[in-house]
């Protein structure tokens, strides 16, 4: 979705946009409509200047992303990535110029479109977080180069993590159970027991702590909502009807706001650095999370389960610790 809105122009069904005829052309121009056929072809989809279609919206996001992080875009970039025709790519660039006026201009010396000095990204998908997420996904082989918008891939490394086992059949049955509000019989290898234990669970959501995935489910053996690590779920059976109401999972549906502030022991300059790093305003930043994810959130932020900083950590503290004390995970609960 666009990060800012602008009125759409009325559609002109006869408008077809072609590439510049010469290097000095600022943007693609509109030639006279062809009289050969009144039937629109799939490649003419961008001739409509009304609401942007999903497929074209994706291409406009691509143009915006390349201008934001590479400073330039040309028709070949669009045709190579999306496997579309040159006229269609020209139409997309012209459409982008309409929805994001003043963001690009044609550079005659390089024969390409470049971001203007006043360029401002039109789509949230062009943000820094999205760029770094794509870079990380490429490094971890979650995405391939033909799926990411990056034109240039700088060298990078991430913390290596062991590959956690998730059986496709187990995941498929969990997804089916969630969709059908069903339960399934499993054997679960708890870290607290030597042997797997059989039980029914009624799953309703997934959780991720940055390292491993778990499913949030009602445990019919222990009669409560629990977290089950996907890799420890063994021999799942076929889903059967369940009468569990997931809205009763209070911890999942309760939101907790962690208000972070710099540690008081820091010097003024150190505090300033922490405030910039965490994006704080007036020395505070709020991190919202579900109560069911609070244990994992505290661990990721280098806090003990009781909310105090881990030994040796003194960058941030929880400013509203007293207010959320009753919501902190109990010993053994996680």
Task: Give pLDDT, residue 54.
Answer: 64
Strand partners, 200: 185
**pLDDT at 183 > cutoff 50:** yes
In the block, which residue shows the tokens 């062009």? 126
**pLDDT at 58 > cutoff 70:** yes
Contact present, 184 and 238 (Cβ < 8 Å): yes
**pLDDT at 114 > cutoff 50:** yes
**pLDDT at 9 > cutoff 90:** no
**DSSP 3-state assignment of 216?**
strand
Enumerate the domain spans of the chain.
1-126, 168-251, 254-327
Q: How confident is the model at residue 53 (pLDDT cuts 50, 70, 90)?
A: low
Contact present, 232 and 164 (Cβ < 8 Å): no
pTM of the model: 0.74
Contact present, 59 and 82 (Cβ < 8 Å): yes
Contact present, 27 and 89 (Cβ < 8 Å): no
The closest alpha carbon to 147, from 160, 157, 137, 132, belongs to 137
Q: Strands 316-318, 255-262: parallel, antiparallel or unpaired by DSSP?
A: antiparallel
**pLDDT at 200 > cutoff 60:** yes
- The lowest-confidence range among 35-44, 127-136, 137-146, 165-174 is 35-44
With left for phi above 0 and alpha for psi between -120 and 50, is residue 116 left, alpha or beta? beta
Task: Give pLDDT, residue 332.
Answer: 52
Side by side, the strands of the sheet bearing 104-107 are 72-73, 112-115, 104-107
Task: Give pLDDT, residue 51.
Answer: 61
**pLDDT at 43 > cutoff 60:** no
**pLDDT at 117 > cutoff 70:** yes
**pLDDT at 21 > cutoff 80:** no
**pLDDT at 40 > cutoff 60:** no
**pLDDT at 31 > cutoff 60:** no
Task: Give pLDDT, residue 28.
Answer: 44
Structure-block tokens of residue 306:
């009781």
Report the chain's mean pLDDT, rounded to a whole number. 86
**pLDDT at 39 > cutoff 50:** no
Query: What single string gives the DSSP state of each residue in 125-137?
Result: GGSHHHHHHHHHH
**pLDDT at 44 > cutoff 50:** no
Write the pLDDT tens digit of every residue in 282-307: 999 999 999 999 999 999 999 999 99
Write the pLDDT tens digit of every residue in 74-89: 999 999 999 999 999 9
Q: What's the distance, Cα to Cα, between the start and end of the chain in Å?
A: 37
Write the pLDDT tens digit of every residue in 204-217: 999 999 899 999 99
Task: Give pLDDT, residue 331.
Answer: 59
Tell me what percent of the chain is helix, strand and coil, each rounded to the nearest 5.
35, 20, 45
Structure-block tokens of residue 21:
């005829």
**pLDDT at 167 > cutoff 80:** yes
Residue 7 DSSP symbol: P
Fold annotation for 168-251: SH3 type barrels. (2.30.30)
**DSSP 3-state assignment of 231?**
helix
């Amino acid at each position: 979705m666009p990060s800012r809105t602008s009125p759409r122009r009325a559609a002109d069904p006869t408008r077809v946009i072609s590439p510049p005829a010469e290097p000095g052309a600022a943007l693609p121009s509109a030639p006279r409509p062809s009289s050969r056929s009144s039937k629109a072809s799939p490649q003419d989809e961008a001739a409509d200047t009304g609401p942007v279609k999903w497929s074209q919206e994706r291409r406009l996001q691509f143009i915006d992303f390349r201008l934001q992080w590479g400073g330039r875009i040309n028709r070949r970039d669009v045709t190579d990535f999306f496997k579309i025709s040159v006229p269609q790519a020209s139409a997309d660039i012209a459409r982008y110029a309409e929805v994001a006026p003043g963001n690009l201009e044609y550079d005659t010396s390089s024969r390409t479109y470049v971001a203007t000095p006043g360029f401002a990204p039109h789509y949230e998908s062009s943000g820094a977080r999205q760029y770094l997420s794509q870079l990380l996904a490429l490094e971890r082989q979650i995405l391939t180069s033909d799926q990411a918008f990056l034109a240039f891939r700088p060298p990078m490394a991430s913390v290596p993590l062991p590959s956690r086992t998730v059986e496709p059949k187990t995941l498929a049955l969990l997804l089916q159970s969630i969709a059908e509000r069903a339960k399934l019989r499993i054997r679960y290898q708890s870290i607290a027991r030597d042997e797997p234990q059989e039980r029914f669970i009624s799953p309703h959501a997934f959780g991720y702590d940055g390292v491993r995935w778990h499913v949030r489910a009602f445990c019919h053996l222990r009669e409560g909502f629990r977290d089950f690590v996907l890799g420890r779920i063994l021999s799942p059976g076929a889903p059967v009807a369940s009468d569990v109401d997931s809205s009763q999972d209070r911890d999942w549906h309760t939101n907790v706001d962690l208000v972070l502030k710099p540690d008081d022991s820091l010097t003024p300059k150190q505090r300033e650095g922490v405030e910039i790093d965490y994006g704080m305003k007036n020395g505070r930043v709020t991190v919202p999370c579900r109560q069911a994810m609070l244990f994992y959130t505290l661990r990721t932020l280098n806090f003990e389960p009781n909310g105090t900083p881990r030994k040796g950590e003194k960058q941030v503290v929880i400013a509203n610790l007293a207010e959320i004390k009753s919501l902190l995970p109990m010993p053994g609960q996680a």
